[in-house]
Amino acid sequence: MTKWKPLDPKTRCIRKCKHSDYDSVCELSKSIWEGQDYLPLVFHEWVDDNGLFLCIEDTKNNCIIATDKYTILPDRAGLLEGLRVHKEYRGQSLSWHIGKAAFEKALQDKQDGTIHRIVNCTHITNKASIHMSTSIGFTLQQKYVVVETSKKETPVQFTAQKWDPTFEEFLSMPYFKHTNGYIAQHFLVQKVTPDLFETLQKSAHFFILNGSPGFYDHSHGWYNVALDPTPKSILDWLHFANEQPQVTDCYSFVHPDPSTLKELQNQNASTWMEFEPDLLYYVYESDIAPTVLTNN
């Protein structure tokens, strides 16, 4: 049983985020991912989203000190994401208090059939998120390796042809045989559905690159997917996407096949965790509220 530090109602308030909280959330985000946090980029979209975007306000100092987001995905999974705690306020059980509020909304939606399951995607270094998820009954279902590469001084030459796949063509790609029909985007894993594919058709750039189909996109941040994921095609797509106008720091989230990772390492690709899986996808499947959420 986890014992939390109580939330002082005189100085702490859990509430929905408002557009006017933007500057305060940007200040919170400065310490996340070395200042490269995607939260400011999606902040206004999340405020308007039909899920639940929560914050904890320090009412004494008039600033946002924690955030958490509950999102309903196209595959009718309820995603818990965007858990952030201001660096000056850590160690006060804030992640537990705001996480509890978001999780209880997701649990209610699961029980009434609005969503099919509750999921969480997190980085392996986010110990607070992992501990909270596993403590309340989430189990690890999939994992991926974040792969990147630096721009070459001499631009790589590509043969790129625009591609307009059908949903059936898209889902038949070798990539999905490894992932059981799921796709890893920018720190987001979800089941591919016609609705998700329709969204990708509006936002993503599809090409056949040196004979390899794939796309790059800007959901939560720049990422690309080689849909026939050989070591060569993964690297080709990374280089290609990073050479496109306005694209910065485009990542690929690669299924951890040992032979693929070994070859990528030989080809001087870069990862965050020495070619160990670091994007983690957790699923909660119980219909019963966990007792760990009570502060006894």
Separation CA 74–CA 296 (nearest Å) = 36
Question: What local confidence, expressed as pLDDT, does residue 25 receive?
Answer: 96
Same domain membership, residue 62 and residue 152: no
Taking the CA atoms of the chain, what radius of gyration do you get in angstroms? 20
Within the chain, what is the greatest distance between any pair of CA atoms?
62
Same domain membership, residue 103 and residue 49: yes
Measuring CA to CA, which residue among 80, 73, 77, 123 is closest to residue 280? 123
Q: Does residue 130 lie in a domain region? A: no
Total of domains in the chain: 2
Same domain membership, residue 178 and residue 111: no
Q: Which residues contact 137 (CB under 8 A, 6 or more apart)?
A: 284, 285, 286, 290
**Contact between residue 238 and residue 269 where contact means Cβ atoms under 8 Å apart:** yes
Same domain membership, residue 149 and residue 105: no
pTM metric for this prediction: 0.88
Same domain membership, residue 168 and residue 66: no
Question: What local confidence, expressed as pLDDT, does residue 1 receive?
Answer: 43
Residues of the chain with pLDDT under 50: 1, 296
Question: What local confidence, expressed as pLDDT, does residue 296 receive?
Answer: 43
Instruction: Kindly report the CATH number assigned to the domain that includes residue 25.
Output: 3.40.630.30
Question: What local confidence, expressed as pLDDT, does residue 14 receive?
Answer: 97
Domain that holds residue 65: 12-115
Question: What local confidence, expressed as pLDDT, does residue 31 receive?
Answer: 86
Separation CA 161–CA 212 (nearest Å) = 10
Separation CA 11–CA 257 (nearest Å) = 49
Same domain membership, residue 110 and residue 179: no
